[in-house]
Structure 1
Amino acid sequence: MNRPILGITMGDPAGCGPEITVRALSDATVYQRCRPLVIGDIKCIRDALRVTNRPELKLHQVDRPSQGLYEFGTIDVLHLELVDWDKFSYGKVDPMCGNAAFQCVKKVIELAMAGEVDATVTNALNKEAMNLAGHHFNGHTEIYAHYTGTDKYTMMLAHDDLRVVHVSTHVSLRQACDLVKKERVLDVIRIAHKACLELGIAAPKVGVCGLNPHAGEDGMFGREEIEEIAPAIEQAKAEGIQALGPLPPDTAFSKALGGWYDIVVCMYHDQGHIPLKVVGFVYNKDLGRWDAVAGVNVTLGLPIIRASVDHGTAFGHAGTGVANELSLVNAMDYAIRMANAKKNVSAVK
């Protein structure tokens, strides 16, 4: 019973979330490490059994986490009646499916805030479908921040020992430049440092990227490094954080892969996402398929644990049974690690 309960949202039902969830829970070792609970419409999970050809697995419908069996061979589903199966189809932007994905996220946050699940893991949602359903958020991170009342938070992406966090994410590039301010950069450095400590890294080295090419080249290509980023780094150092930079972004990630930094603070969305997906997403051009879609998205600064897949809904091949579950497995592993660490800290206190 010491295994943490993971609340796993099904994501947009028109996407790959239900099928990769079934694939992930087809591994008996998962149940040795955690108690997985799927939050979603049981009709979608039942069809995912068909899509993935897993007739040996059973479904167990529950109304609350305490009713779960948490035994390999049976997938516990906290059922929310969200999908009209007569109107459902895979691979399409649909407000019904956008609402379903949103309601699952809202429910799992409520469960975590109430202490009924130890960590939350999210499958991909479609932002257009969610907004068409009337839920006007830019993504999971903003939903979590809103419903947990969190002001200071950031996104961390991780693949093996490469970790990146962001000063800004789902905004235009023009707006992202305007958001590079000392206080925000300092907040993200602090959050990054704390996250590494929580992952068991005793003396984290926090690399901090510049915004401009060559980290501004002493002001030749911009002054954000001089006026905003460097002062944040100096303040972090004064607080005892090993913050290093501003780093030229074009070499920072190669150095991070080489062990120079435990985590890298990035100034905007793609500065962090591109290197993570280059190493985590592996396409086999000879076979015409993805060999790996790996990586984890973790929201830091929240009062609850949230880890997620680092990919989209894969509408292009949803419902065909070919989706790769590796990113979800990685997200579950991160959630388990963080939940166990949180329990250990609570036990010491």
Structure 2
Amino acid sequence: MSDHRPILGITMGDPASIGPEVAAKAFTNRVIYDACRPLVVGDARVIEDAVRFCNLDLKVNAVKSVNNAEFVFGQIDVYDLENVVLEDLKKGEMSARAGDVAFQTVVATINLAMKGEIDGTVTGPINKESIHMAGHQFSGHTEIYAHYTGTKKYAMLLVENDLRVIHVSTHVSLRQACDLVKKDRILDTIELMHQACVQLGIRDPRIAVSGLNPHAGDGGIFGWEEKEEIIPAIEEAVSRGYNVTGPIPGDTLFPKAIGGRYDGCVVMYHDQGHIPFKMVGFTWDDKAQKMNSVKGVNITLGLPIIRTSVDHGTAMEIAGKGIASPDAMLLAIEYAVKLFENKVQSY
């Protein structure tokens, strides 16, 4: 009898970060085995070390082929790249070596998905500075995936419960972000948002588009981008049959979206979307000096393969302490399964 659960490649992220820890902790949840066949991609000794300092009741099974993974609860199958000298690894420190390991792990996972050996990918956090120190000039996971899959039209989607946010631009300066507010780019982003909502089971998604300027330009008083680029993109999207509203000032859009008025939000730049998104999913405990909750999933749209990710950073300051939350990793796995199932049903 064939096993219909998807095989998901889960990267350990930066080996000096909380990435290995949140990956290992996710495997203590039996529910993920009901939904998928999880496989960590990385270095088996790093995962063994995470199991040790987190005091987890788990075994590690290092494999060199996906076919050798056993996918049984109580055991972490690791597609072992053997690319870390554990004695040289300093937790919580950025380095070219850690950056290169993180980068090579992501590329290996992409290759497994492109070859059809795994059904989807879930990524742990990477440190952009460490990756740059290693000589890999990518601004983030999204751009690495786009490059190695040959994808031209792509975007980052953030999901936390009913809040879904997509960006016209992400990892660029604010000055560059303003220059990227162009009709065609906005229209592509609206279309990606619509497709993503459909893939997540929303039949006729209601999409809201933010303005760039305060008060969405206020009729041209505070800027010209709304009149010349954003409104024409919205009008074109409506003419194509999409249910789109805007431009709406960001400070008005998000209270309504969080309240359920919209199924998807198209924003113009990184922080315009990330700040309200993290206000919903992240909870800081000042007394304990740690995040009590770190929820939210990052999905890359437009790719030929499935990619979901935690939407938190490497948290180097707590790496190796065993206190990192696996909440976002569990959600990322859940959404990868959901995307796989909807993809299969659409065939």
What range describes the TM-score normalised by the shorter chain of this pair? over 0.9
TM-score, normalization by structure 2? 0.98
Q: How many equivalent pairs are there?
A: 345
Does residue 10 (structure 1) correspond to residue 12 (structure 2)? The answer is: yes
Distance 1:332 1:341 in 2: 14
> Offset of 1:67 from its aligned partner?
1.5
State the identity as a percent. 54
Counterpart in the other structure of 2:100: 99
Partner of 1:328: 329
Residue type of the alignment partner of 1:59? V
Letter in 1 for 2:81: L
User: How far is the alpha carbon of 1:287 from its aligned partner?
Assistant: 3.8
- How big is the shift at 1:36? 0.3
Alpha-carbon distance in structure 2 between the residues aligned to 1:150 and 1:199: 21
Question: Is 1:44 aligned to 2:7, yes or no?
Answer: no
Aligned CA-pair RMSD: 0.8
1:69-218 to 2 correspondence within 5 Å?
A: 69-218=70-219
Task: Name the CA distance, whole Å, in 1 between partners of 2:166 and 2:289.
Answer: 32
Distance 1:300 1:26 in 2: 29
* 1:182-222 Cα shifts (integer Å, max 9, x gaps): 00000000000000011110110010000000000000000
- Deviation digits for residues 107-151 of structure 1 (CA, Å, limit 9, x no counterpart): 111111111111100000011111111111000000000000000
Shift of 1:324: 0.6
What residue identity is the alignment partner of 2:269?
A: Y
Structure 1, 327-336 or 285-294: larger mean CA deviation: 285-294
State the distance in 1 between where 2:279 and 2:258 align: 12
1:271 and 2:272 correspond: yes
Q: Which sections of structure 2, spanning at least 5 residues, go unmatched?
A: none
In structure 1, what is the Cα distance between the partners aligned to 2:280 and 2:13?
A: 24
Moved more, 24-33 or 173-182: 24-33
| Secondary structure in structure 1 of the residue aligned to 2:325 | coil
1:152 partner letter: K
Q: Tell me, what secondary structure is at the counterpart of 2:247? A: strand
- Name the CA distance, whole Å, in 2 between partners of 1:88 and 1:190: 43
Q: What is the rounded CA distance, in whole Å, between the counterparts of 2:302 and 2:311 in structure 1? A: 18
Distance (Å, rounded) in 1 between the aligned partners of 2:89 and 2:287: 34
Q: Hey, what does 1:236 align to over in structure 2?
A: 237
Partner of 2:29: 27
Compare 318-327 and 60-69 and name the one that shifted more.
60-69
Within 2, Cα distance between the matches of 1:51 and 1:287?
A: 19
Structure 1 residue ranges, 4+ long, deviating more than 6 angstroms after superposition: none
Distance in 2 of aligned mates of 1:326 and 1:4: 20
Structure 1 residue runs of 5 or longer lacking an equivalent are none
TM-score normalised by L of structure 1: 0.98
Q: Spell out, residue by residue over 1:3-50, the C-alpha distance to the aligned partner (whole angstroms, 9 max, x if none).
A: 111100000000001111111111111111110000001110000011
Give 1:335 shift.
0.5
Give the aligned partner of residue 289 of structure 1. 290
How far apart are 1:288 and its partner, in Å? Answer: 3.4
Rounded Cα–Cα distance in structure 2 between residues aligned with 1:134 and 1:225: 38
